[in-house]
A and B are shown apart, each in its own frame.
Chain A
Amino acid sequence: MSINDLWTTMHGMVFGFIFLLGFAGALVGVYMMKSEWLTTEGTNANVSRLRIFLWLLAIAVWLAVFSGTYIVYPWYRAAPPEGLTDLTNFPRFLLLANESTAFWHKFGMEWKEHVAFISPMAATVVAFVAQYYGAALARKPEIRRWVMIFFVVAFFAASIAGMFGAFITKAAPIR
């Protein structure tokens, strides 16, 4: 495995996947924070785990966007030397060279690279709210509802990035 493979895997399959896989559990955790469903002991135990979980997810998605932007993306968009015909090591140019694959850059990569940044901001807001209110979040149904909406937005943005990342890596892997 090359360094490029390693970082591409870390970006998508480690940092990105931690967030995508952890989302459902954390969303259920926030949803279940209802005072009428939980005892005080249950709420306190639940919120301690939830706080840690939400901060871990927020950190994971920040790491995913930063590793993607500053480590993997420069390899993706590197320009080939003039006259080079084998574009295998230059994914962006490889995709754009063929009409049937240009879509993956013009739509997939262009969407993915931008929308992804909404995810860590939204996930950080969610983690902060859980940190701030703690167990009292169980008595704040409206705030909990908005937190879940923000969290779904974070997941939506991350899943677009993850899905197109997987497709683009299939069409033109970074080597």
Chain B
Amino acid sequence: MTTAEINKPNGPVAAALLAGGIGSAVLGLATFGSEASEAIGASLNWYKPVGPLMGKSSLGIIAFFLFWAILNYIWKGKETNFTRVATIAMVLVVIGLILTFPPAWGILLGGE
């Protein structure tokens, strides 16, 4: 292990974590949106045998890789406030977990 390895900037790692959080949150928002509105659900039906699940999951995955690439470009070679970025990433992951939990849809939609 060299000093250069130890001193590697944390930007790319922060980018990956935040992208993971964004991907999860987008997945959750797409899932909730699909439950909240039939029109959104229909617009996410990209492949009939799979139904709206394809649109919902694809949006989450696309957001994950797209934001990873963008954030990595911005933070490459830079040092970030890692605790803050990781905390935001975890909050986004929790949003994704809540919005993919079926009872949460009913609660958020006012008991529908």
**A residues bordering B, Cβ < 8 Å?**
40, 43-44, 65, 69-70, 73-74, 77-78, 106-107, 110-111, 113-115, 117-118, 121-122, 124-125, 128-129, 132-136, 138-139, 142-143, 146, 149-150, 153, 156-157
8 A Cβ contacts from B1-51 to A: 1, 5-6, 8, 10, 12-13, 16-17, 19-20, 23-24, 27-28, 31, 49-51
Query: Are A135 and B1 in contact, with the CB atoms below 8 A?
Result: yes
Interface centre among B16, B23, B57, B90 (most CB of A within 10 A): B16
In the complex, what residues of A have CB within 8 A of residue B97's CB? 115, 118, 153, 156-157
Overall SS of chain A's interface: helix
Given contacts A69-B53, A77-B51, contact A117 B61 (CB under 8 A): yes
Distance of A85 from chain B, by nearest CB (Å)? 23
Query: Are A125 and B31 in contact, with the CB atoms below 8 A?
Result: no
In the complex, what residues of A have CB within 8 A of residue B20's CB? 121-122, 124-125, 150
Distance of A106 from chain B, by nearest CB (Å)? 7
Complex Cα–Cα for A121 and B21 (A): 9
Given contacts A111-B102, A117-B60, A142-B82, contact A125 B16 (CB under 8 A): yes
Tally of chain B residues near chain A (CB < 8 A)? 37
B102 touches which of A69, A106, A149 (Cβ 8 Å): A106
Distance of A50 from chain B, by nearest CB (Å)? 14
Query: Are B64 and A107 in contact, with the CB atoms below 8 A?
Result: no
**B residues bordering A, Cβ < 8 Å?**
1, 5-6, 8, 10, 12-13, 16-17, 19-20, 23-24, 27-28, 31, 49-51, 53-54, 56-57, 60-61, 64, 82-83, 86, 90, 93, 96-97, 100-103
In the complex, what residues of A have CB within 8 A of residue B51's CB? 77
Interface centre among A117, A133, A135 (most CB of B within 10 A): A117
In the complex, what residues of A have CB within 8 A of residue B1's CB? 40, 43-44, 134-136, 138-139
Q: What number of residue pairs across chains A and B have CB atoms under 8 A from each other?
A: 102
Show 23 A/B contacts (Cβ-Cβ < 8 Å), sorted by A: A73-B49, A74-B50, A114-B56, A114-B100, A117-B57, A118-B24, A118-B93, A118-B97, A121-B20, A122-B93, A125-B16, A128-B16, A129-B13, A132-B13, A133-B8, A133-B13, A134-B5, A135-B5, A136-B5, A139-B6, A146-B90, A153-B93, A153-B97
